[in-house]
Structure 1
Amino acid sequence: MTSWERLRDLLRQMGKGDREVIDRDLGFELCRQDGVQAIVLGSYVKAGDTFATDVKVLDVETKGIIKSFSSRGEGVDSILKRQIDDLSREIAKGIVQPEGVTQVAASPIAEVTTNSMEAYGHFLRGRDDYEKFYLAEAQKSLERAVELDPDFAMAYYYLARVNLQLGNGEAARQSLAKLQPLGDRVAGKEGLYIKALLADLVERNADKAMEILRKITADFPDEKRARLDLGTYYYRLGKLEEGLAELHKAVKLDPQYGFAMNMLAYTYAQLQKYDQAIEWFKKYGLVSPADAIAP
């Protein structure tokens, strides 16, 4: 399965990172590039307060319809509260898994994210600002997200990370305290990220955190953030060569991943390989010139 974030990464690699909408033809092209066999296309219509969502599962090679499904609900928030989960279950039934591939457990979308479209929008802005090192802006957006939805687990996850980088230890502890009971309800990739963060910052067990991150990379091979986090842990532990290996894997997954390039530069500098450090700082500046700390 190729995530939305993976599709955005592929767009950047194709020089189309500014595309706001992935149309049908571009969607097929991206899927073929990433070796995906089936694509899900969706649309929705609004009639009064009713939102109806229709999806079609198509074969990437033939563009023929494999299955089609629909769901409806009252209010725009019904899309996150129920419709995505209903449609996801039906899609999973309609697609034959390759031999040897097992289905990873997933939480209802509202538990992983939120049932508020507005809160989700603030979350996306906050996470994006965090990865561009606009920490004050990220903090503001994420705080608004949890204000709109006090049970938004992943917003607390990033809010804790942002507050740590800002040096707000007490605020970070408060975010972690909110995250702990919520994290138990979240399965899948997001649940593993939460468990890794809590293992590190609450249990003070970096080895456990790293083991969880390795599980993410095993279960979700295209997950660049787990590679970045592993590289950062190795940096903290002084295992710089191991850190470089993980960071290079992150950049291989996304050749325009400025966050990882920045960490690569610091790791090479710590190894006193200053030519490589300068080279990676230059690459970071080229791909992410708008970042707050871009050289």
Structure 2
Amino acid sequence: LSESEYVSVISSQRLYDIARIMGKDERSSLDRETAMEIARRADARWMLLGSIHQTEPYFSLAGQLIDVSTGDVIASQLIAGEPGDDIFPLIDKLTTEVKNDLTLPSAAMQEQDRMVADVTTHSSTAYRYYIEGIDYFDKFYMDEARACFSKAVEHDSTFAMAYYYLTRVTSGEKADKNLKLASTYMDKVSQKEKFYIRSLQAAKASDYSGAIEHLEQLLKRYPDEKEALFLIANYYYSKRNIEKLAEYLERVIALDPFHKSSYNMLAYAYHFLGKNERSIEMADRYVALAPDEANPYDTRGDLLNRMGRFDEAIESYEKAVEIKPDFSSSRLALIYLNLFRRQYSRAEERVAEYAESGMENAESQANLYLSHIYIFRGETDSALKIIDMELEKNRSGKNYSLLGEGYYTKAMIYDGLGNYDRAIEYIRKAEEAVSSDLPSKSLSYKHAEIVFLARAGKFDEAERFLEDYGSRTEDIPLRVGRYYYCRGVIAFEKGDYKTAISELKQSLEDRKSFSYLTNYLLARSYIKTEQYAEAIDIFEENLNNYDLWRMYYGIQDSKTYYYLGLANEKLGRNEKAVKMYDYFLEIWKDADPGFTELADARQRLKRLKNRS
């Protein structure tokens, strides 16, 4: 019925939302009086009641078409099948009879009525797995959702919407393959679902404006389609338009005050907008709606972490892994929270727990996380040995994601050591690995390659690559921000620090999100131009940010204390400078030799202490 241009069918999800607002939680226990009230609140003109009249020796369906304004039955239907028929053909017959009973324009009778199985699946088993997958997907239990959608396509290899959701729960080549299959069988979905698939096609190509446009077209026909509103909010997040993100999420909640995922994202949105009290309020509502799920506690932990309430954050993350021991994001947060606080032993314990969590590739991933602990200590030789062991293991298994991460981490180590040729070598290997997994991600590490080329003094090559990169930013905030970051690096390496400051500020403005490395180089540029107070503010901002990506910059993070000592010393704040130099030397007491900052910090500390 919803395929007809002349009938607007209120979705079952909208009806369930209204039922929940009325305090009716059970979908299967609505009496006629309650159903009538739901229909009135939904502004429906007609309501169709139905039942399976019999199942043996054949299916028989009974239907009643009711005028919502009066409660009168205006038509009845009784549809009988043949022995051996499944339920789907009977629904097709019922559709035809209902359209005949409605007061529709004559043109409605000329529409092609597609069989319901042709726009879903011919397999009831596949459909059951599909519905289970949706339930897991809504809980953020992506492993379980992926298993259900995979089972669905095992039973029906042409089930387009199962492939659509598989695209959303997989990555790399698998996601590309699933999206291709969803597109191939797109003629087997409803008009509404075609909008979703086309939107996902655009989003996978980083065309977020196009993705939004497809969903806006869907909303013109189905204005109460909250999933479309929610996805538009997600795409505005990808465009770093937080105001629009919050606006669309509030529209979802207006339709469904119980929409867990919207409270999840609104909690982050209000934090990004500087409304921390409102942010925690949304997180608490999310927890209240789903107290037995892991993700609400993970979200609350993230926000408390960002607000500097670390002990509360750890408590929330621990609750998440208590509910679901293989909930990876909370497991990872418990590692980096301890790492950033320089509680190395506790971080190592968390790594060991991660390795034993039962997650896919848990041991390999845990070893890469262990390498970061050594990097933060300045023990780069030990870190490199661990990474090399995992690279060797994952090369044979072609685990491109782990290969890309391992090569990137090696490149960052060599960058921190000043060995830029090796950094270039390994960042190119990282690019090759992620491109093998997902060609659309070929630009993921290109900005890092440009940075290392500039630091190696290969300016012509760096600027040539940067020009190409700039032509491919597609107005995506992250890419535009990285473009100006690269310009800032090139200016810095050429000794033009004022230009570097200008370019790096532009990067932060266009990126519309926090960037540890951009801040780090901006602070160093301020030191070069003797703007020491400004440098201190930015270095301290970095240290107060407990974002995941900070974990990948262990050398820079530790050197920050050296630069804070230097800046404070230049401002005559000798007591503070001593404290920073002392701390830097303490956290790098076992660091590998060769870091010039260690020798300089010792000399400066000795000189300052002698003065006192």
**Alignment TM-score > 0.5, same fold:** yes
Deviation at 1:169, TM superposition (A): 2.1
How far, CA to CA, are the matches of 1:93 and 1:205 in structure 2?
A: 43
Residue identity opposite 1:154 in structure 2:
M
Sort the Cα spacing of 1:273 and 1:106 in 2 relative to 1 into closer, same or farther, 3 A: farther
For 1:106 and 1:246, the matched residues in 2 are separated by 34
Bigger proportion of residues as strand: 1
Matched, 1:13 2:29: no
Q: 1:32 corresponds to which residue?
A: 40
On the 8 A contact 1:56/1:65 being kept in 2, the answer is yes
Check the 8 A contact 1:106/1:188 in 2, yes or no.
no
Task: Report the Cα distance in structure 2 between the residues aligned to 1:242 and 1:63, rounded to whole angstroms.
Answer: 41
- Which residue is equivalent to 1:180? 183
Deviates more, 1:18-27 or 1:178-187: 18-27
CA apart distance, 1:185: 3.9
5+ unaligned residues in a row in structure 2: which ranges? 1-8, 298-612
Q: Please tell me whether the aligned partners of residues 104 and 188 of structure 1 are also in contact (alpha carbons under 8 angstroms).
A: no
1:19: how far off?
4.2
Kept in 2, the 8 Å contact 1:112–1:154? The answer is no
Q: Which of 87, 101, 111 pairs up with 2:94?
A: 87
Which residue, 195, 199, 202 being the options, matches 1:199? 202
Deviations 1:20-67 (A, max 9, x none): 333322211211222212110111233544111121101123222212
2:117 matched to which residue of 1? 110
- Computed over aligned residues only, the root mean square deviation of the Cα atoms, in angstroms, reads 2.4
* Consecutive unaligned residues in structure 1, runs of 5 or more: none
Structure 1 outlier segments of 4+, above 4 Å: 74-77, 103-107
The alpha carbon displacement at 1:142 in A equals 1.1
Distance 2:277 2:68 in 1: 44
Which residue of the partner structure matches residue 238 of structure 1?
240
TM superposition shift of 1:272 = 2.7
Aligned residue number for residue 63 of structure 1? 71
Q: Contact 1:111–1:153 at 8 Å: present in 2 too? A: no
1:204 and 1:108, CA in 2 relative to 1: closer, same or farther beyond 3 A? farther
The structure that has the greater radius of gyration is 2
Q: Distance between the aligned counterparts of 1:285 and 1:191, measured in 2?
A: 33
When residues 280 and 194 of structure 1 are mapped into structure 2, their CA distance, relative to the original with a 3 A threshold, is same
> Which whole-Å CA distance do the structure 2 matches of 1:290 and 1:114 have between them?
32
The counterpart of 1:127, out of the listed 124, 127, 134, is 134
Amino acid in structure 2 at the alignment position of 1:175: N
- Distance change >3 Å, CA 37–CA 195, structure 1 → 2: same
Separation in structure 2 between the aligned mates of residue 86 and residue 228 of structure 1, nearest angstrom: 34
Deviation at 1:76? 7.7
For the Cα contact (< 8 Å) 1:129–1:137, is it kept in 2?
yes
Residue pair 1:240, 1:271 contacting (<8 A) in 2 also: yes
By relative contact order (CA 8 Å, sep 6+), the higher-ranking structure is 1
Conserved in 2, the CA contact under 8 Å of 1:183 and 1:195?
Answer: no
Which residue in the other structure is 1:210 paired with? 212
Q: Is the 8 A contact 2:58 2:85 kept in 1?
A: no
Q: SS of 1:184's equivalent? A: helix
Is the contact made by 1:160 and 1:173 (CA closer than 8 Å) also made in structure 2?
A: yes
Task: State the 1:89 CA deviation.
Answer: 2.9
C-alpha distance 184-204 of structure 1, shift in aligned 2 (>3 A): farther
Match of 1:221 in 2: 223
User: In 1, are the aligned partners of 2:66 and 2:75 still within 8 Å (CA)?
Assistant: yes
Kindly indicate whether the alpha-carbon contact (under 8 Å) linking 1:111 and 1:152 is maintained by their aligned counterparts in 2.
Answer: no
Looking at structure 2, the residues matched to 258 and 97 of structure 1 have their Cα atoms a distance apart, in angstroms, of: 38
1:32 partner amino acid: R
Corresponding residue for 1:155?
A: 162
* Aligned pair partner of 1:275 in 269, 274, 277: 277
Structure 1 residues 75 and 157: alpha-carbon distance in aligned structure 2, compared to 1, 3 A threshold? farther
- State the one-letter code of the partner of 1:209: A
Indicate the SS of the match to 1:294: helix
Q: Aligned partners of 1:56 and 1:121: how far apart in 2?
A: 26
Partner of 1:292: 294
Q: Shift in Å at residue 113 of structure 1?
A: 1.6
For these two proteins, the number of residue pairs brought into alignment is 286
Note the alpha carbon deviations across 1:180-238, whole angstroms, 9 max, x for none.
1111343421121111112222x442222110101112211111111100011001101
- The separation in 2 between residues aligned to 1:271 and 1:76, in whole angstroms, is 59
* Contact 2:45–2:68 (8 Å) recurs in 1: yes
Contact 1:78–1:115, Cα closer than 8 Å, also in 2: no
**Taking every aligned residue pair, what percent have the same amino acid on both sides?**
35
Query: What CA distance in whole angstroms lies between the structure 2 residues aligned with 1:104 and 1:285?
Result: 47
**Could you state the TM-score of these two structures normalised by the residue count of structure 1?**
0.89
Please say if 1:53 is aligned against 2:61. Answer: yes
Pick the aligned partner of 2:30 from 3, 11, 22: 22
Name the aligned partner's letter for residue 198 of structure 1: Q
Tell me which amino acid in the other structure corresponds to 1:68.
S
TM-superposed CA distance for 1:77, in Å, is 6.7
Whether the aligned pair in 2 keeps the contact of 1:234 and 1:243 (CA below 8 Å) is: yes
Given the two structures, how large is their TM-score scaled by the length of structure 2? 0.44
2:295 counterpart SS class: coil
Are residues 174 and 284 of structure 1, via their aligned partners in 2, closer, same or farther at CA, if it must alter by over 3 Å? same
Partner of residue 10, structure 2: 2
* Higher deviation after alignment, 22-31 or 140-149: 22-31
